[in-house]
Structure 1
Amino acid sequence: MKIMDATLPEETIHLTVEQSPVWEWIVGIAGYTHGQLRHTFEMDEEWTQDAQAMPASLLESLAKIEETNLWYGLLLLQNEFGARSVEEFAERLAEISEERFYDILLPYHSRAAEALREQAAQHPEDSGWWFSYARLFEGHAYLSGYVWQLHGHTRAQLSELFMKVLREWQDWMTKKFYIGRWLHALTFEEQQHRGLDSANAAKEIERVASVDYAPEPSVWSVKLIPHVSYRPWLLTIRTADVKLFFYPVSEQQLLDPEVPPNELIQGHKALGDGLRLNVLHYLCHGPAPLQEMSERFKMSKTTLHHQLALLKAAKFVKVDKGVYSIQPEKLQAFSTQLNRYLGMDE
């Protein structure tokens, strides 16, 4: 029997490292306005000091972004535009149709909900479609409210806020003495990861961004976006067909050899507390949910969550579906980094 092979070439994920000053400005805005986790960001102390000197107009814009979570929309728009400058971002924003505007800004939920998302995008004034779509995100930390914020503002109002905060944040950041080094490090990161092997996407993603990734249905493009402002966190966003990983650029690219890496400083802060050390010791015996640890240490879940967030920011613990576990390899890497900085690894 003769068999004719009519199969098409196997498709692979399109994998790229992408950076631009626009990405860094938006990620900075997202971090600055992240009220719940901001105390764990490396930039938090400086941002707190900045608030005393920032123009009132910028503070007002940032407060609006924090209230509405519209930083998420900025990220979605930049994913679509890939703008290399704020002015290019503004031009692209002005050019798109109203339907496309809302199609970009409405967050992805699932393949089953795509038809509903499209109806909402096509009918921005129809509360029925928007109510139905927003309900799908009930219980999410911010996306349900974010959808209603999109519906509660006109396109003109949203566009004005996006451009106002983006331009003002850029103006503020370009005055920083270190911004040239930041942007140089981000450019270098993009250049050294050109030509990634998309056929081995999972390994490449783990190598570049230090994150495990399993292919997802309908995702044909993965963007790895280095950042400084959102350190030490990894931020993940998914659209209908793109997965975005915002990963912290290596601090070694940002510092002089004599300056201790902030990872060391943050790590010692995380370890410099008896309770947090007790939590780590407890997790050495196995993973545990927040409720269990709250009862074990006789404190509220809110207080304990705050302490765990510091350990998580230092990458000493991780959480999966509400269950916390220790990351021994990160603790070992921390010790190695300390020895390397002190010159004791030779």
Structure 2
Amino acid sequence: MEILHATGRKRETYDVQFVYSALWECALGIAAATNSPFINTLEKPITYWEELKSTLSTSLLNHLDYVEKNNTWKALLQILHHLDGIDINDFCAAVKSLKDFELKFICLPFIGDKFQHLREGAALGEEGAIIEFKKITSDHPFFPQYIDFISHSCTNELKTHLIEIMSGWYESVIKPNLEQTIKILQTDFESKIEMKEKMSPEEIVQWATGGVNYLPEPSVHKVLLIPQYIYRPWNIEADIEGTKVFYYPVANESISPNDRYMPNNFLVQKHKALGDEVRLRIVKMLSEVDRSLQDITEHLDMGKSTVHHHLKILRAAKIVEIKESKYSLKANVLELLFKELDRYLKQ
């Protein structure tokens, strides 16, 4: 697909690819279990995580504490991207075989081609590079601390931790439900591949993620979409060389594939949001032009708190977004909704 610019020039958009694996679910499960600020927002209730942790060994619980302190779930994901298409035994063997520089370079975050020299310097333990790398990522919630930790870590200790947390979680949490997990991920993967043939790259990303409107960037040639169940309802975004990554929540129908009447959770959310006279009026207004809260309030002749409530519902359904302090209808959201409904009715 190509995108026309106002200048009349054309540029290619990104290529969309899908992969799935129980190891992604394993690493993301570790990330979810150690993300205390967000654990109450996950689909699985807090009681699930409490009961799960009560079944884990003291050693594995200690490793989870280590993950929460140092964000080493990020290292697990980085390594999986580097190794690609492996099982748990291959993962452990590969981590063991990595040289000091290789391991640290892979674990450190990618923040752009022009900063790769800082990533390399930090992996080598160069203090100047570490300081500059941390400074450039200072607005990120955990990158500076994570960069400092990885750069100064003992490689053998880091290897031992990554192997034990990954293999321990896999054996205790993933393996007992491996067949069901693979079935869910594979079902979602296959449904997205089917729709990929019917949608533009931007549309398939928006549909799979439930509303992320990711526009092409000059340095990004590929978008990698990875289905996950454990972190629902959240999308997790990451960057690797030349690639934007979205670990997106699997659809309802992938969890219950034998129920052909099960609708996609995003489809339900959007239709619920649109099933109100006030919200439909707001959508029509925003289809004409972006508007401020004050503008919408004056046109509807309603209280600001009431209008804000309706806008909050539309934003939660990924129908409306905020751009430069004004409310805006997400690009192609209604056209894509019709395609989603058509697919549901015909499946």
| 1:83 is aligned to 2:85 | yes
Counterparts of 1:12 and 1:139 in 2: how far apart (Å)?
28
In structure 1, what is the equivalent of residue 163 of structure 2?
163
Deviation of the 1:93 alpha carbon: 2.0
Distance 1:249-1:106 versus aligned 2 partners, 3 A rule: same
In structure 2, what is the equivalent of residue 293 of structure 1?
none
In structure 2, what is the equivalent of residue 181 of structure 1?
180
Structure 1 contact 42–232 (Cα < 8 Å) conserved: yes
Paired residues for 1:119-198 under 5 Å: 119-121=121-123, 123-124=124-125, 126-174=126-174, 176=176, 179-192=178-191, 193=193, 196=196
Structure 1 contact 311–317 (Cα < 8 Å) conserved: yes
Structure 2 contact 209–248 (Cα < 8 Å) conserved: yes
Counterparts of 1:219 and 1:258 in 2: how far apart (Å)?
36
Paired residues for 1:179-258 under 5 Å: 179-192=178-191, 193=193, 196=196, 200-210=200-210, 211-255=212-256, 257=259
Indicate the SS of the match to 2:183: helix
Amino acid at match of 2:214: Y
Deviation of the 1:312 alpha carbon: 8.0
In structure 2, what is the equivalent of residue 73 of structure 1?
75
Paired residues for 1:17-166 under 5 Å: 17-45=18-46, 46-121=48-123, 123-124=124-125, 126-166=126-166
Structure 1 contact 232–314 (Cα < 8 Å) conserved: no
What TM-score results when the alignment is normalised by the length of structure 2?
0.70
Structure 2 contact 236–247 (Cα < 8 Å) conserved: yes
Deviation of the 1:109 alpha carbon: 2.2
**Structure 1: 5+ residue runs without aligned partners?**
1-9, 272-279, 289-295, 298-307, 341-346
Structure 1 contact 16–223 (Cα < 8 Å) conserved: yes
Structure 2 contact 26–174 (Cα < 8 Å) conserved: no
Counterparts of 1:227 and 1:82 in 2: how far apart (Å)?
16
- Deviations 1:16-53, CA, capped at 9 Å, x for gaps: 11011111101111111112111100124211222222
Deviation of the 1:108 alpha carbon: 2.0
Structure 2 contact 17–224 (Cα < 8 Å) conserved: yes
- Deviations 1:147-193, CA, capped at 9 Å, x for gaps: 0110231121111111111111111214655x532220111222341
Counterparts of 1:12 and 1:140 in 2: how far apart (Å)?
27
Deviation of the 1:226 alpha carbon: 0.3
Structure 1 contact 32–44 (Cα < 8 Å) conserved: no
Indicate the SS of the match to 1:162: helix
- Deviations 1:185-241, CA, capped at 9 Å, x for gaps: 111222341795699422332243342221122222221000000100011101231
Counterparts of 2:249 and 2:68 in 1: how far apart (Å)?
22
CA RMSD after TM alignment: 4.3
Indicate the SS of the match to 1:51: helix
- Deviations 1:49-70, CA, capped at 9 Å, x for gaps: 2222222112111111011111
Counterparts of 2:195 and 2:97 in 1: how far apart (Å)?
31
Distance 1:187-1:119 versus aligned 2 partners, 3 A rule: same
Deviation of the 1:253 alpha carbon: 2.1
Distance 1:225-1:62 versus aligned 2 partners, 3 A rule: same
Counterparts of 1:119 and 1:104 in 2: how far apart (Å)?
13
Indicate the SS of the match to 1:244: strand
Structure 2 contact 195–204 (Cα < 8 Å) conserved: no
Number of corresponding residues: 297
Identity among equivalent pairs (%): 23
Counterparts of 2:198 and 2:146 in 1: how far apart (Å)?
33
Deviating more after overlay: 33-42 vs 224-233: 33-42
What TM-score results when the alignment is normalised by the length of structure 1?
0.70
Deviation of the 1:76 alpha carbon: 1.0
Counterparts of 1:147 and 1:240 in 2: how far apart (Å)?
17
Structure 2 contact 122–151 (Cα < 8 Å) conserved: no
Structure 2 contact 251–265 (Cα < 8 Å) conserved: no
Distance 1:75-1:322 versus aligned 2 partners, 3 A rule: farther
Deviating more after overlay: 152-161 vs 198-207: 198-207
Amino acid at match of 2:83: F
Counterparts of 2:159 and 2:17 in 1: how far apart (Å)?
28
Amino acid at match of 2:93: E
Counterparts of 1:183 and 1:107 in 2: how far apart (Å)?
28
Counterparts of 1:312 and 1:51 in 2: how far apart (Å)?
34
Structure 1 contact 197–204 (Cα < 8 Å) conserved: no
Counterparts of 2:154 and 2:77 in 1: how far apart (Å)?
19
- Deviations 1:81-121, CA, capped at 9 Å, x for gaps: 11331111122223333332222222122343232222223
